[in-house]
């Protein structure tokens, strides 16, 4: 059966940061299989190339780019690399992120700076660096899309100490709204998907603690699946989501609603 044009993303060009693993890989696979020319990033060239080759072997085009989001120079280098390969960017998924252990008493300043830098500052400056490509793809009928990957950790306070991570994601959620207002006149929408428990490098959904948390707090009674992450991004990137702008969408099986 042919894909409904309302939900088609075929022919678009996308960048998914941190797209070699976890939720980023779920999103990248979903859009590659639907005809999106996709670039994914990682810090290790061999690993990101291998991940891109695996996705490329499914159906569609996927390429790996090396990126270091701990420095402004790394962000600028990624933007320059992509700009040398493409003349437009229809979809930017800011998924790359990090975390640091540490209670209020134990958190080191360097760890705080790392988490805020990668999770909040890097997406802001990457969007700015890629504005020429996003503007080249944008039109009133089919805006360019920026989709940030936030977290329900930025919408509530969990039962463990995650001060830097929660602050970074809450800041990213607010940044989404301010950029939606700033970039709307350029026909660029900015939204955030805020996942709950999904299998990723930051969440071990197989652990007994997470299983208990899911059973107790997620009304649907299960962690997120790849189709859940990919489907939400595909909706936002398609014509069906073209008028959604400036929103934080919890992708959590009802976790936040049930608090």
Question: What is the pLDDT, as a whole number, of residue 57?
Answer: 76
3-state helix vs strand vs coil in the chain, percent to 5: 45, 15, 40
* Domain residue spans of the chain: 8-251
Query: Collapsing DSSP states into helix, strand and coil, what is residue 188?
Result: strand
**Residues recognised as catalytic:** 165
Q: What gap in Å lies between CA 88 and CA 220, rounded to an integer?
A: 39
Query: Does the pLDDT of residue 210 top 70, yes or no?
Result: yes
Among 88, 187, 183, 176, smallest CA distance to 143 is for 187
Query: Does the pLDDT of residue 205 top 60, yes or no?
Result: no
Question: What is the pLDDT, as a whole number, of residue 34?
Answer: 95
Please compute the mean of the pLDDT values over residues 202-206 and round it to a whole number: 59
Please state, rounded to an integer, the average pLDDT across all residues of the chain.
Answer: 94
Q: What gap in Å lies between CA 84 and CA 49, rounded to an integer?
A: 18
Q: What gap in Å lies between CA 145 and CA 244, rounded to an integer?
A: 10
Question: What is the pLDDT, as a whole number, of residue 160?
Answer: 82
User: E strands, 75-211, where?
Assistant: 91-94, 144-149, 188-195
Q: pLDDT tens digit string along 46-66? A: 999 999 999 987 678 999 999
Q: pLDDT tens digit string along 105-142? A: 999 999 999 999 999 999 999 999 999 999 999 999 99
Query: Does the pLDDT of residue 204 top 80, yes or no?
Result: no
- The yes or no reply on domain 8-251 and CATH 3.40.50.720 is yes
Which range, of 65-79, 92-106, 166-180, 195-209, averages the lowest pLDDT? 195-209
Q: pLDDT tens digit string along 69-106? A: 999 999 999 999 999 999 999 999 999 999 998 889 99
């Amino acid at each position: 059966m042919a894909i409904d044009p309302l939900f088609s993303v075929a022919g678009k060009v996308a960048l998914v940061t941190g797209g070699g693993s976890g939720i980023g890989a779920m999103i990248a696979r979903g859009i590659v299989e639907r005809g999106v020319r996709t670039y994914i990033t990682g810090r290790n060239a061999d690993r990101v190339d291998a991940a891109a080759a695996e996705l490329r072997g499914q159906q569609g085009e996927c390429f790996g780019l090396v990126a270091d989001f701990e420095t402004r120079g790394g962000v600028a280098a990624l933007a320059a690399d992509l700009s040398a390969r493409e003349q437009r960017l229809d979809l930017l998924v800011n998924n790359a992120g990090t975390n640091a252990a540490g209670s209020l008493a134990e958190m080191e300043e360097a760890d705080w700076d790392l988490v805020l830098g990668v999770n909040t500052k890097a997406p802001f400056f990457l969007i700015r660096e890629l504005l020429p490509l996003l503007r080249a793809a944008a039109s009133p009928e089919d805006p360019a899309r920026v989709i940030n990957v936030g977290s329900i950790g930025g919408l509530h306070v969990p039962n463990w100490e995650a001060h830097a991570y929660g602050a970074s994601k809450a800041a990213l959620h607010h940044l989404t709204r301010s950029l939606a207002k700033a970039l709307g006149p350029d026909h660029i929408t900015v939204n955030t998907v805020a996942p709950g428990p999904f299998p990723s490098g930051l969440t071990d959904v197989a652990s007994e603690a997470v299983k208990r948390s899911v059973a107790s707090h997620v009304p649907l009674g299960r962690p997120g699946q790849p189709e859940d992450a990919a489907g939400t991004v595909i909706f936002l990137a398609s014509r069906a989501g073209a008028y959604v702008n400036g929103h934080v969408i919890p992708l959590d099986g009802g976790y936040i609603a049930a608090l």
